[in-house]
């Protein structure tokens, strides 16, 4: 009877705890959150008893790791799997207990529905501490919970620097339709003379396609890497990461020490390989590219992470060189919370926000940055992603990698030349939209920034000098002095059948499609090394139509009409318009080239 009473008591206490947990969870939801959402979250976020600093539980066995070869790493080394499993357990034990109700409602693609979205893009925009705190409401339970768990993750993170990562190369997340995009990305690199090996990272065993992994990639000095082999299937299933959360895992699954992570829809238009051996990369060990927007990280992120944000201004946006007395001689008289941009203050991340479609990183130097970024992404969609963006355009994994580096005070260089957009097509809202984000060569950018520094130094000798960020860093760092390196074709992605079926490359007039073609990627391609749009369609013709290769995502499509009727006309249009563009290209009309009309009768100097 004593045993039975104690058992019942334990069951009762456990039941009460479960009820409390469910109450706390559901009190943070709203009526539009589905039961499926709740069940899914509870299944993967068992936080009862979590958040305790139990460092004795997380013992990282490292003595055998130094003997791990690249091949054994890729095949699934037991020592490596045990090492990462310990860290993954730490992340699971410190899951966020108070998912944000504002992000628990999902859109049609299964991603958090973000509303409102903030498009804060100007130097003059208010991004002070007070303003940023007003963008999103984080309750005390959320902040206190993450503060404890962030500290636990940091305290129990391994201090080991891996030796099993070797060499240089590219990593691209594949799987499903992304395997096709990845293949195009590899082909684009090779067309430009980029020769370093490529690893296509596959999230699950079902993503393995013999056509891609055994026939096509080996001929291109590329291979498939299966995450389940590297980390173990059971561990990955427990992590339950999807979508852009997978990029953090992909970086750790790649065998390269110096790895260039590319989104599968980010295509090179200039050979990026000189960056690997550049002085810029040797100095910073991590290179990132900017997004269009100002940084909107919540000040509460810094509180949660235990980062001491000082009450002093240390820069203006990303100008870290100019004397502050030249930038703002009256800064000391201003209210630090309302009149100074929060991310101009010491120990914060600097503007602009980051676009994570491209990133080069030394994983030995930044191993802890990547481990922390993985934590931010594992608990990302309902917790850290909104904390780091607050509905800023593009909310997702994009700030997690630089946040990891900033936490550990490790260096990184973010390209100063802001991205551009190539137009265009009409989206589902019948709105004229860009087809790609243009990102620029960091080596050219770094040289331009040195010239800008010297220009400011010279101009500041004038007693009437007035600092003007826009004059020096925007107008003074123009497209004409920059070199395009990547076209991030994020929407629409290059699914040739989708583009064909949806008539994306046709002109619309009064909301109706007319029989007049146009380019989706604009007409500025002569400044790069390749006509990317023609190149992509030529690859579709070669591999889908001429070689008739059986890509899984194109099964069931009407290959006859596509290959015999559409493709010949599409290639003819691209070749004719491409020749016209090349013959009439005028570097004085760059922005017009981004939005050209493809009018083959236009005169030289006109928008083409």
Cα gap 202→229, rounded to integer Å: 10
pLDDT on residue 429:
67
Write a three-state SS string for 167-199: CEEEEEECCCHHHHHHHHHHHHHHHCCCCCCEE
- Read off the DSSP letter of residue 106: B
pLDDT on residue 433:
77
pLDDT digits (tens, 9 = 90+) for 352-365: 999 999 999 999 99
Contact by Cβ (8 Å): 521, 537: no
What's the chain's Rg over C-alpha atoms?
Answer: 26
pLDDT digits (tens, 9 = 90+) for 309-318: 999 999 999 9
pLDDT-above-70 percentage for the chain: 88
End-to-end CA distance of the chain: 90
Q: How confident is the model at residue 243 (pLDDT cuts 50, 70, 90)?
A: confident
Kindly write down the DSSP assignment for every residue of 405-464, as one continuous string: HHHTT---EE--SPPEEEEEEE-TTS-EEEEEEEEE-HHHHHHHHHHHHHHHHHHTTSTT
Kindly write down the DSSP assignment for every residue of 536-575, as one continuous string: HHHHHIIIIIIS----GGGTTS-HHHIIIIIHHHHHHHHH
Cα gap 302→399, rounded to integer Å: 13
CB under 8 Å to 396, separation ≥6 — which residues? 244, 356, 380, 385, 389
pLDDT digits (tens, 9 = 90+) for 526-571: 989 999 999 999 999 999 999 999 999 999 999 999 999 999 999 9
pLDDT digits (tens, 9 = 90+) for 186-203: 999 999 999 999 999 999
Q: How confident is the model at residue 23 (pLDDT cuts 50, 70, 90)?
A: very low
Give the residue among 474, 481, 487, 518 at the shortest CA–CA distance from 607: 518
Contact by Cβ (8 Å): 437, 357: yes
* Residue 168 confidence (pLDDT) above 80: yes
Q: How confident is the model at residue 75 (pLDDT cuts 50, 70, 90)?
A: very high
Strands 420-426 and 432-440: antiparallel
pLDDT on residue 422:
87
Contact by Cβ (8 Å): 286, 356: no
Cα gap 540→522, rounded to integer Å: 19
pLDDT digits (tens, 9 = 90+) for 435-492: 899 999 999 999 999 999 999 999 999 999 999 999 999 999 999 999 999 999 988 8
Q: How confident is the model at residue 32 (pLDDT cuts 50, 70, 90)?
A: very low
Give the residue among 341, 327, 350 at the shortest CA–CA distance from 468: 327
Average pLDDT over residues 32-49: 41
Cα gap 558→520, rounded to integer Å: 23
Contact by Cβ (8 Å): 443, 280: yes
Phi-psi domain of 391 (left: phi exceeds 0; alpha: psi -120 through 50; beta: other): left
Q: How confident is the model at residue 592 (pLDDT cuts 50, 70, 90)?
A: confident
For the chain, how many residues are written? Answer: 608
* Residue 370 confidence (pLDDT) above 80: yes
Q: Who wins on pLDDT, 184 or 518? A: 184
Lowest-confidence region among 165-179, 317-331, 428-442, 464-478: 428-442
pLDDT digits (tens, 9 = 90+) for 393-417: 999 999 999 999 999 999 999 999 9
3-state SS, residue 436: strand
CB under 8 Å to 395, separation ≥6 — which residues? 114, 117, 385, 386, 388, 389
Cα gap 3→63, rounded to integer Å: 45
């Amino acid at each position: 009877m004593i045993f039975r009473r104690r058992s019942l008591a334990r069951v009762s206490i456990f039941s009460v705890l479960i009820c409390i947990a469910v109450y706390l969870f559901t009190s943070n939801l709203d009526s539009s959150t589905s039961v499926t959402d709740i069940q899914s979250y509870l299944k993967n976020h068992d936080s009862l008893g979590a958040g305790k600093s139990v460092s004795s539980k997380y013992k990282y066995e490292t003595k055998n790791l130094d003997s791990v070869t690249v091949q054994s790493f890729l095949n699934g080394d037991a020592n490596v799997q045990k090492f990462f499993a310990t860290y993954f357990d730490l992340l699971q034990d410190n899951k966020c207990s108070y998912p944000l109700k504002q992000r628990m409602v999902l859109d049609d693609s299964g991603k958090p529905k973000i509303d409102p979205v903030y498009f804060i893009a100007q130097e003059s925009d208010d991004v002070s501490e007070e303003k940023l705190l007003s963008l999103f409401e984080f309750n005390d339970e959320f902040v206190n919970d993450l503060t404890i768990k962030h500290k636990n993750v940091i305290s129990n993170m391994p201090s080991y620097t891996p030796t099993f990562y070797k060499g240089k190369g590219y990593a691209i997340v594949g799987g499903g339709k992304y395997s096709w995009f990845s293949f195009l990305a590899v082909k684009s690199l090779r067309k430009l003379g980029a020769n370093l090996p490529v690893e296509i990272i596959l999230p699950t065993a079902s993503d393995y396609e013999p056509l891609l992994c055994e026939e096509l990639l080996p001929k291109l000095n590329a291979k498939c890497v299966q995450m389940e082999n590297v980390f173990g299937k059971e561990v990955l299933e427990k992590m339950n990461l999807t979508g852009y959360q997978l990029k953090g895992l992909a970086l750790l699954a790649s065998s390269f020490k110096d790895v260039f992570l590319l989104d599968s829809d980010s295509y090179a238009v200039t050979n990026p390989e000189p960056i690997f051996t550049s002085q810029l990369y040797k100095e910073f060990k991590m290179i990132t590219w900017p997004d269009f927007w100002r940084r909107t990280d919540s000040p509460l992120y810094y509180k949660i992470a235990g980062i001491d944000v000082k009450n002093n201004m240390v820069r203006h946006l990303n100008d870290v060189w100019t004397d502050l007395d030249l930038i703002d001689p009256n800064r000391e008289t201003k209210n630090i919370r309302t009149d100074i941009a929060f991310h101009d203050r010491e120990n914060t991340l600097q503007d602009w926000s980051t676009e994570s479609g491209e990133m080069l990183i030394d994983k030995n130097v930044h191993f802890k940055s990547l481990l922390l970024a993985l934590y931010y992404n594992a608990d990302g969609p309902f917790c850290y992603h909104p904390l780091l963006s607050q509905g800023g355009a593009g909310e997702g994994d994009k700030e997690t990698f630089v946040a990891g580096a900033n936490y550990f005070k490790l260096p990184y260089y973010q390209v100063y030349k802001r991205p551009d957009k190539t137009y265009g097509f009409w989206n589902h809202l019948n709105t004229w939209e860009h087809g790609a984000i243009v990102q620029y060569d960091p080596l050219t950018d770094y040289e331009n920034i040195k010239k800008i520094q010297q220009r400011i130094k010279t101009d500041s000798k004038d007693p009437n000098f007035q600092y003007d960020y826009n004059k020096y860093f925007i107008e003074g760092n123009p497209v004409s002095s920059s070199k395009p390196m990547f076209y991030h074709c994020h929407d629409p992605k290059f699914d040739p059948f989708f583009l064909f079926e949806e008539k994306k490359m046709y002109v619309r007039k009064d909301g109706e499609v007319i029989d007049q073609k146009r380019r989706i990627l604009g007409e500025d391609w002569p400044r790069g090394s390749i006509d990317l749009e023609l190149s992509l369609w030529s690859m579709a013709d070669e591999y889908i139509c001429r070689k008739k290769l059986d890509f899984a995502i194109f099964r069931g499509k009407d290959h006859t009409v596509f290959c015999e009727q559409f493709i010949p006309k599409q290639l003819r249009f691209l070749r004719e318009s491409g020749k016209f563009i090349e013959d009439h290209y005028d570097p004085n009309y760059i922005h017009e080239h981004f939005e050209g009309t493809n009018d083959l009768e236009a005169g030289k100097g006109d928008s083409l």
